[in-house]
Amino acid sequence: MDLKVTNIEDLKKVAQGEVIQLPQFAQGIPFNARVKRVSLLNLVRKGVVPNKLLSAAEELFYGKQSSKENVDLTQMTDVMYIMAENALVEPSIEDLKSVGLELTDEQIVALFNYTQEGVSELDSFREKSENTECNINK
């Protein structure tokens, strides 16, 4: 089978990101956002992830405890937030802050998971949200 080079126009579409549904800020108001998958290695290379968080990043991505130092929850959440912040294209973190909103824990985890697994990873959040809504409405 002959492989063909991927068309640059297709790659441009990937670079623009995709619109996905994230966990809601409030009941009945969907939160759809344009996101892109980001690379931890590129963020480390560019200095976006500071050296003090590298052990936490190692633990998050490779599932092993760092041999260098103990990683605390603050460091882990800092790495997850950096990944979420860089994945969120529209609205941006700054856009949300300008209207007095911060990402919820559930949204940060969903965005972090999206950076690693893509849109299929968000299915578990959608199912949980639907179940929660059903229970609230009963």
Sign of the alpha-carbon dihedral angle for 99, 104, 107, 108: positive
* Helices (H) then strands (E): counts for the chain: 7, 3
pTM summary value: 0.75
Each residue of 16-47: pLDDT tens digit? 999 999 999 989 899 999 999 998 888 988 99
Is residue 2 a part of any domain in this protein? no
- For 12-24, letters b (16+ CB in 10 Å) and e give eeeeebeebebbb
Residue 42 lies in a domain: yes
* Domain enclosing residue 88, as ranges: 16-137
Domain contains 52: yes
Q: Is residue 3 part of a domain?
A: no
Residue 5 is assigned to a structural domain of this protein: no
Mean pLDDT (whole number) for 100-114: 94
Task: HSE, CB side, 13 Å, CA atoms: give it for residue 46.
Answer: 9
The total domain count for the chain is 1
Report if residue 61 sits inside a domain: yes
Is 9 among the domain residues? no
pLDDT at 123: 59
